[in-house]
């Protein structure tokens, strides 16, 4: 019975898409993860929160580490074919 109680929460932890609003600045901050949307890999910071939509330009911010450091940048095309979308720091 204990095994089942531990296994259920772990199975839900396979996918995490979380955003948080940074106090004082009002900037929304994403996790430092990538998502495949169709044939494109998109950094979570370049997605529309809670959707499968993304943008190819504009401001982005993500948690750089577990200590609360935030990296801010601009969404832009990346990769050899220019089809992946990255949050590129200035």
pLDDT at 10 over 90: no
How many residues comprise the chain? 90
Element holding 5 (H helix, E strand): helix 2-12
Decide: residue 75, CB within 10 A, 0-12 exposed, 13-18 middle, 19+ buried. buried
Task: Kindly list the domain boundaries of the chain, sorted by start residue.
Answer: 16-88
User: Is the pTM value of this prediction over 0.75?
Assistant: no
CA distances from 21 to 5, 46, 63 (A): 32, 15, 11
pLDDT for 42-87, tens place per residue? 999 999 988 899 988 999 999 999 898 999 999 999 887 778 999 9
């Amino acid at each position: 019975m204990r095994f089942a109680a531990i296994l259920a929460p772990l199975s839900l932890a396979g996918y995490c898409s979380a955003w948080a609003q940074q106090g004082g600045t009002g900037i929304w901050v994403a996790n430092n993860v990538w998502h495949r949307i169709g044939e494109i890999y998109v950094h979570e910071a370049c997605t529309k929160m809670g959707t499968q939509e993304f943008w190819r330009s504009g401001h982005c911010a993500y948690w750089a580490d577990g200590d609360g450091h935030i990296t801010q940048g601009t969404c832009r095309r990346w990769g050899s074919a220019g089809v992946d979308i990255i949050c590129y720091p200035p």
